[in-house]
């Protein structure tokens, strides 16, 4: 059985026969700030 759960933007949780993979393929450089909604920010390190 395969389940596909969209977390946010490019982040996806895949479960394939009990094996779980979390993907987040951001390919931009470190140091960038991200806005996730009102009052929510993060910075890639």
Residue-averaged pLDDT of the chain = 86
What total of structural domains would you count in the chain? 1
Full residue range of the structural domain in which residue 28 is found? 2-43
pLDDT tens-digit series, residues 5-14: 998 877 899 9
**Prediction pTM value:** 0.50
Strand (E) or helix (H) holding 31: none
Confidence of residue 4 (pLDDT cuts 50, 70, 90): very high
Cα four-point dihedral sign 35, 44, 23, 40: negative
Q: Comparing C-alpha atoms, which of 31, 29, 18 is closest to residue 42? A: 31
Segment 34-45 shows an average pLDDT of 86
Q: Is the pLDDT of residue 23 over 80?
A: yes
Q: Comparing C-alpha atoms, which of 6, 11, 13 is closest to residue 42? A: 11
Mention every residue, 6+ apart, whose C-beta is less than 8 A from residue 11: 22, 23, 24
Q: Is the pLDDT of residue 38 over 70?
A: yes
Q: How far apart are CA 30 and CA 23, in angstroms?
A: 17
């Amino acid at each position: 059985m395969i389940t596909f759960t969209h977390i946010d933007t490019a982040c996806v949780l895949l479960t394939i026969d009990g094996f779980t993979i979390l993907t987040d393929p951001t390919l931009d450089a470190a140091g960038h700030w991200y806005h996730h909604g009102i009052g929510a920010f993060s910075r890639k390190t």
